[in-house]
């Protein structure tokens, strides 16, 4: 999957915006939105929030976790623990990228936030590599990866699955060819 | 402009049961089918009913938008949504076509041998496409290569030469419905087989073959 | 999905894909063997020989595809010798530290060719299969880390020592990383010329005709 496609999925996440216009309730195929009233915060999917922001029709309110102190805590925990920290959003990377690229004026300390999120990402990916190496060395058949996000999985999936597929076949090399016996030559 | 949609859609005439789905549910199912198709190593069962319903929804919405005031903000929001849904639908269909092209002799063979009551992996249009692709490839190979070969080498068994999907591929999945006692086969001689329970909402990495039926039943979602 | 051309990949493990270019190249590699009966009228296979037939007991190096075709455990046409790198001496080196070995020089299809050898029922098969698997497992970490730029250093020296299967994995890892970084910078939505088209432009007709 392309990162842009993972982002496409992330764009369905609800985000709080403050519109500066009025509009009646709209009935999208995917659900109802609105009505939009100037100055009143409301939830819309991320794809719409970004679009409205680009047209200067709203202000975006950062999610609660997009805050320097909160992220520093998460970074600490991520660095401290061997396991993966449950992230406040399964789309933290995508939300950070989209909101910081399109609405950084609505986000306090945007640069610090960008750095913190990148640090968290790097720490998690290096943990993922550690787990992958362990998985391969122990030749496991199954792994549970509850707190990994889609973007993290997607960035490494092609490499992992290709490796594991090869490894599985190399393992089954050991199984005897059907009907044949070993012979001395 | 009629913003209101009927909240309940009937399933297509393909099935004998009426499927009552909200449009939102329908789109959710389309997205799930899309993701499963993307990550499954083989061609999954055809979801023609979903495809047809989605196309119906999109046409319906397009018609409404034609009648609406131009330049209305509502119109552009609806259009954005339509584009998003259209993207998922095209990507889903293209993914299937790619697999049909990749495994074409096997796909055609499987469909030919299918019992009438069993569900098909191909929509009628896809089957036509697959058969044409097979005929074209056979003719191409014959004309460009095979007929210039010595007489006893003038045929090729496409079923043997074209690789089968690798059902032993590893996949990532998220669990939608709790499953108990999934058997994990031993990978080495030193290991023993064991079972795992798949908790709702958990994510796993596992060989596709083990969980293929769960994908078909909707109990797990490939990611 | 964004590529218009999907070549048939090489077979996994002991399988070989007829339509895979990689496998065609792999099966061209030579295997030392010994004839177990005289091969009539096949003298042309021996470059140095001048006789019409190949006598019993001749030692020859034949490509894998030919050996697979002639090999039959019942009729005993050929017996296969293990190439050096799959024999015990080299296996010990691999088992000690697989990371130091230049698999490209020794291969370049170490895993593929090694897996194909298992068709020839040697008593050493279990050991060969085990070494091939352990080699893969041992080298996995370096390939993964360098393809994800974890070392932040020049990877070309490492890649030069990878066999073809490992290079394919390395490329997959790099692509995952590059695609992500590209997306992060916001370049994912830019339209660029397809790779195939770019290489068309660079080639002149005279280059192709040669």
DSSP per-residue codes, B109-138: HHHHH--TTSPPSS-HHHHHHHHHHHHHHH
Q: Which of A30, A143, A171 faces B187 most closely, judged by CB atoms?
A: A171
| Phi, psi (deg, nearest 5) at residue A15 | -140, 145
Residue A18 belongs to a domain? no
Q: What is the pLDDT of residue B49?
A: 94
CATH number, domain of A98, equals 1.20.58.1020
Task: Please state, in angstroms and rounded to a whole number, the distance separating the CA atoms of residues B1 and B60.
Answer: 12
Mean pLDDT value across chain C: 85
Backbone dihedral region for residue A39 (phi beyond 0: left; psi -120 to 50: alpha; all else: beta)? left
Contact C130, C98 (CB under 8 A): no
Could you report the per-residue pLDDT of C157-187, keeping only the tens digit for each?
889 999 999 999 999 999 999 999 999 988 7
Q: What is the pLDDT of residues B183-216, one digit of tens each?
A: 887 666 666 778 888 899 999 999 999 999 999 9
Q: State which residues form the domain around B99.
A: 23-163
**Structure confidence by residue, pLDDT tens digits, A27-74:** 999 999 989 999 999 999 999 999 999 999 999 999 999 999 999 999
For residue C45, count other CB atoms closer than 10 A to its CB. Answer: 13
Cβ–Cβ of B163/C1 closer than 8 Å? Answer: no
Q: Which residue has the tokens 């068994």?
A: B157
B191 in the same domain as B147: no
Mutate to test the interface with B, among A29, A83, A86, A87 (most CBs of B within 10 A): A29
Domain, as residue range, for A128:
3-12+62-171
Over residues B127-167, the pLDDT tens digits come to: 999 999 999 999 999 999 999 999 998 988 999 999 999 99
**In a domain? residue A185:** no
Rounded CA-CA distance C124/A126 in Å is 38
**Residue A78 is assigned to a structural domain of this protein:** yes
The interface predicted TM-score of the complex, written ipTM, equals 0.91
Greatest CA separation found in chain B?
Answer: 71
- Per the structure, the count of domains in chain A is 1
B160–C6 C-beta distance less than 8 A: no
Residues of C within 8 A of B94 (CB-CB) are 1
Residue B179: strand pairing partners: B198
Indicate yes or no: CB of C1 within 8 angstroms of CB of B102: no
Residue B6 in this model has a pLDDT that exceeds 70: no
Whether C6 and B98 lie within 8 Å, measured CB to CB: yes
Q: Residue B52: give its domain's CATH number.
A: 1.20.58.1030
Q: Looking at B146, B163, B180, which one is the last position of a domain? A: B163
Q: What is the reported pTM? A: 0.89
Going residue by residue through chain A (185 aa), what tens digit of pLDDT does each one get? 999 999 999 999 999 999 999 999 999 999 999 899 999 999 999 999 999 999 999 999 999 999 999 999 999 999 999 999 999 999 999 999 999 999 999 999 999 999 999 999 999 999 999 999 999 999 898 999 999 999 999 999 999 999 999 999 998 887 654 433 332 22
CATH of the domain at B208: 3.40.5.60
d(CA B126, CA A44): 37
- Rounded Cα distance, A117 and A92, in Å: 8
Contact A142, A164 (CB under 8 A): no
Res. C196 pLDDT band, cuts 50 70 90? low
- Which chain C residues are Cβ-neighbours of B100 within 8 angstroms? none
Confidence of residue C90 (pLDDT cuts 50, 70, 90): very high
The residues that bridge with A59 in the sheet, in sequence order, are A18
Assess if residue B3 is contained within a domain.
no
Strands A14-19 and A42-45: antiparallel
């Amino acid at each position: 999957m392309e990162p842009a496609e993972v982002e496409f999925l992330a764009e369905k996440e609800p985000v709080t915006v403050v519109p500066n216009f009025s509009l009646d309730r709209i009935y999208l195929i995917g659900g109802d939105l609105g009505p939009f009233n100037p100055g009143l915060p409301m939830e819309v999917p991320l794809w719409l929030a970004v679009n409205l922001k680009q047209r200067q029709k709203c202000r975006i309110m950062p999610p609660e976790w997009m805050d320097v102190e909160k992220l520093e805590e998460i970074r600490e925990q991520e660095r401290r623990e061997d396991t993966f920290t449950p992230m406040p959003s399964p789309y933290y990377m995508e939300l950070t990228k989209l909101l910081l690229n399109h609405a950084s004026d609505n986000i306090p300390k945007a640069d610090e936030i960008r750095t913190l999120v990148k640090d968290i990402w790097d720490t998690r990916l290096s943990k993922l590599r550690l787990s992958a190496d362990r998985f391969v060395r122990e030749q496991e058949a199954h792994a549970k990866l509850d707190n990994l996000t889609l973007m993290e999985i997607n960035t490494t999936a092609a490499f992992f699955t290709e490796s594991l597929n090869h490894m599985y076949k190399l393992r089954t090399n050991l199984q005897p060819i059907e009907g044949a016996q070993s012979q001395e030559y | 402009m009629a913003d209101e949609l009927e909240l309940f859609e009937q399933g297509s005439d393909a099935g004998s049961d009426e499927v009552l789905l909200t449009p939102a549910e329908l789109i959710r199912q389309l997205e799930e089918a899309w993701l499963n198709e993307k990550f499954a190593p083989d061609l999954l069962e055809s979801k023609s009913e979903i495809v047809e319903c989605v196309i119906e929804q999109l046409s319906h919405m397009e018609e409404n938008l034609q009648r609406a005031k131009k330049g209305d903000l509502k119109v552009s929001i609806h259009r954005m949504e339509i584009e998003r849904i259209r993207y998922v639908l095209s990507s889903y269909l293209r993914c299937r076509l790619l697999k049909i092209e990749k495994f074409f002799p096997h796909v055609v063979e499987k469909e030919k041998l299918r019992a009438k009551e069993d569900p098909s992996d191909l929509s009628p249009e896809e089957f036509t496409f697959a058969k044409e692709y097979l005929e074209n490839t056979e003719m191409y190979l014959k004309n460009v290569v095979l007929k210039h070969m010595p007489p006893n080498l003038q045929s090729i068994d496409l079923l043997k030469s074209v690789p089968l999907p690798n059902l032993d591929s590893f996949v990532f999945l998220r669990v939608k419905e709790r499953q108990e006692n999934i058997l994990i086969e031993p990978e080495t001689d030193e290991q023993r087989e064991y079972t795992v329970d798949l908790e709702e909402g958990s994510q796993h990495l596992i060989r596709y073959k083990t969980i293929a039926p769960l994908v078909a039943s909707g109990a797990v979602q490939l990611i | 999905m964004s590529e218009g051309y999907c070549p048939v990949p090489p077979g996994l493990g002991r399988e070989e894909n007829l339509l895979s270019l990689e496998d065609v190249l792999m099966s061209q590699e030579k295997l030392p063997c010994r004839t177990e009966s005289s091969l009539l009228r096949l003298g042309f296979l021996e470059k140095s020989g001048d006789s019409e037939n190949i006598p019993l007991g001749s030692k020859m190096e034949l490509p894998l595809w030919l050996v697979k075709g002639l090999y039959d455990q019942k009729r005993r046409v050929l017996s296969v010798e293990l190439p050096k790198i799959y024999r015990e001496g080299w296996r010990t080196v691999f088992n000690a530290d697989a990371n130091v070995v230049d698999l490209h020089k020794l291969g370049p299809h170490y895993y593929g060719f090694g897996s194909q050898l298992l068709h020839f029922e040697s008593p050493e098969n279990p050991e060969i299969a085990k070494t091939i698997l352990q080699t893969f497992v041992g080298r996995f970490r370096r390939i993964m880390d360098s393809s994800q730029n974890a070392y932040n250093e020049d990877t070309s020296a490492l890649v030069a020592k990878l066999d073809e299967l490992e290079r394919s994995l390395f490329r997959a890892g790099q692509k995952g990383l590059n695609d992500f970084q590209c997306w992060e910078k916001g370049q994912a939505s830019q339209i660029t010329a397809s790779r195939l088209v770019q290489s068309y432009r660079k080639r002149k007709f005279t280059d192709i005709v040669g």
